[in-house]
A and B are shown apart, each in its own frame.
Chain A
Amino acid sequence: MNEEVKNIMASVFKTRIENITDDLNQKNVTFWDSLRHLNLIIELEEKFGISFEPEEISEMTTFERVIFYITKKI
């Protein structure tokens, strides 16, 4: 699943897959802005057929936590 999520992130962030590292953090990169964050959540919800709560969405600011909340739902 990690690979699949990385692929989605790379495509939503319009960046290369190598840039989506395991320690990726929204704070440290410019390509992960708030608008793309919204697009990412939409893509993930659709791909995995899940729905995140607003509190979770605002928590999902690192690759690790993105994976954590997806795993929690499926």
Chain B
Amino acid sequence: MKYFIFRNYTVEPLFVNFDAGYSQYGDISVLDQEADIYLWFYQISPNPDPVSRGNEIDDFLRKIHYLIKQIPPTKDLYVFSLVDMFPFKWQNSDFSIEIKMFEFNNKIFELTKLYPNVRLIDLGDFVRDYPIDSIINWKYYFTSFTFLNPSLAKQFTIWFSKKSDAIQLKRKKCIILDLDNTLWGGVLGEDGIEGIKLGNSYPGNCFTEFQRYLVEASNNGIMLAICSKNNEADALVAIENNPYMILKMDHIVAHRINWENKPTNIKSLAQEMNIGLDSMVFFDDSPVERELVKQAIPMIEVPEFPTEPYNITPFFKDVLNCSFQIYKLTIEDKKKTSQYKENWKRSNFRSEYTSIDDYIKNLEIEIEIRSVDGFSISRASQMTQKTNQFNLTTKRYSESDINRFIKDGNTVLCASVKDKFGDNGISILTIITYDSSDKSAHIDLFLLSCRILGRGIENVFLNFVLNQIFLKGFKRVYASYVATGKNELAKEFYKNNCFIEVESKDAEVKYLKELNEEILIQSNFKINYA
């Protein structure tokens, strides 16, 4: 990832660990075309005259407007918000700079809605962690024109990497919770349903507050699961009936409340929820359990759960900052908990039917296929980043990459799938590129979110796509499967759909299919193409 940084001060010490180029101070006339991402890192000067400080801000805005027009829409511009690192007033009643800065940040926020490639990064989020007099080192300011104290460079690097990961969608998916002394104070088996510590006074209020955060986490697309050694029936009664419980079973995607060992339970939770163990974070107050889980499942994240109840809230904020940052939630993210619950109902429903065909028919599946556009692009990019199991080539694309495919006239299709239990949202994506020299089409990417697997939707969708290619006048279709260690599930996909293997090299197997006529799609699904 190559950055190009527009700046009006020396910022090089902050980005030593990044592949970055820099503009001249205050210059916006030169734009490095090679860069993948552009950064805007301007600060207002510690000028004693508030009017000229205000003018600087106006000038920043004009420059950003100009830059947005210069930067191709396929590349991102990250704008750092303005923070007053040198708050100083001649009159205490003068708030003109605060208001100007607020207006600037707000205008950038408005721009992010108009231009999806503009992202706002709140620098205040970093600066707030340090005392104001350590933010600027005046020696370096006057000798090297450095604004942010270079001795904070290491912390800045870590912070910025997390922010940029959040924009590029690398976050965990699920929190696994223990019950006793984690979700509530005390031990249910000893203290009873009314005796566990929850409520308005210490220490119960710490756990209640923690639960408020958990509920909000669930509303923000983080899945919650329970893994606890308790009597299941007692625990469920406590959760539903203790009046101070804020978290209810509705917020819980799946649970294992039994006397099995925790690693076994966690693995089976991962299987049920259809997510990787590396996307889980495990909360348990017992160091023994934590160690056991860490040893057995090294890829799971196991933070040190605090021993003092009053430290749970700050602890949880840290975990959220480290592992669950996201730039923007999609509608699919927000619905995640209910979608997984519907899936669970589906699999229960399955056992009521004698044949799988019978079951699928009764699901009343509808597939809605459309070209990726401004509304679906963030979800499309997200799927390329997060889908591992049924992903034929596992190419990770940013929104800008996908935009480029669309602009170059390739086919980028997504589909949403719903059935009688609910709407799974957009969960299929494919990208087809064309080579007019030999009239061939290439399936660059083909993926299905794992929550809709097991119903044969992938085959129907593939045939639909092949027909689209055929109707465009292309008769040869090339496709490949690239093994990643996580996508074993999709290995035979093209073979099963009558593709011929033409080449096998390292992890990649290449396939070809000649199209002679439109394929008749026989299925129990309703397909809508808009």
Contact = CB atoms under 8 A, between A and B. Distances in A.
Interface string B123-163: 00000000000000001101110100011010000000000
Contact of A57 (B12, B143, B151): B143
A45 B153 CA distance: 14
B146 A46 contact: no
A33 to B, nearest CB: 10
A57 B142 CA distance: 13
Contact of A35 (B12, B142, B143, B151): B12
B150 A38 contact: yes
Interface residues of B toward A: which range? 10 to 19
Contacts of B140: 38, 42
Nearest to A39: B13
B13 A54 contact: no
Interface in B103-139: 139
B329 interface: no
B16 interface: yes
A54 B142 contact: yes
B16 A39 contact: yes
Nearest to A51: B139
B22 to A, nearest CB: 10
Interface string A35-61: 100110010011000010110010000
Interface in B1-40: 10, 12-13, 16
Contacts of B16: 39
A45 B139 CA distance: 13
Interface string B281-317: 0000000000000000000000000000000000000
B13 A42 contact: yes
A54 B151 CA distance: 16
Contacts of A42: 13, 140, 150-151, 153
A54 B142 CA distance: 9
Point out which of A35, A42, A51 has the most chain B C-beta atoms below 10 A from its C-beta.
A42
Contacts of B139: 51, 53-54
Contacts of B144: 38
A10 to B, nearest CB: 15
Contacts of A51: 139
Contacts of A38: 10, 12-13, 140, 144, 146, 150
B207 to A, nearest CB: 40
A39 B142 CA distance: 16
B520 to A, nearest CB: 63
Contacts of A53: 139
Contacts of B10: 38
Contacts of B12: 35, 38
A35 B143 CA distance: 12
Contacts of B143: 54, 57
A6 B146 CA distance: 25
Contacts of A35: 12-13
A38 B144 CA distance: 8
A57 B144 CA distance: 11
A14 to B, nearest CB: 10
Contacts of B153: 42
Contacts of A46: 151
Nearest to A55: B143
A54 B143 CA distance: 7
Which of B10, B12, B144, B153 has the most chain A CB within a 10 Å cutoff?
Answer: B144
A48 B13 CA distance: 19
B158 to A, nearest CB: 16
A51 B146 CA distance: 16
Interface string A12-31: 00000000000000000000
A38 to B, nearest CB: 5
Interface string B198-222: 0000000000000000000000000
B193 to A, nearest CB: 54
B16 to A, nearest CB: 6
Interface of A: 35, 38-39, 42, 45-46, 51, 53-54, 57
25 contacts: A35-B12, A35-B13, A38-B10, A38-B12, A38-B13, A38-B140, A38-B144, A38-B146, A38-B150, A39-B13, A39-B16, A39-B150, A42-B13, A42-B140, A42-B150, A42-B151, A42-B153, A45-B151, A46-B151, A51-B139, A53-B139, A54-B139, A54-B142, A54-B143, A57-B143
Q: Which 6 A-B pairs have the closest CB atoms?
A: A54-B143, A42-B150, A35-B12, A38-B144, A39-B13, A42-B151
Given A39-B13, A42-B140, 8 more contacts: A35-B12, A38-B10, A38-B12, A39-B16, A42-B150, A46-B151, A53-B139, A57-B143
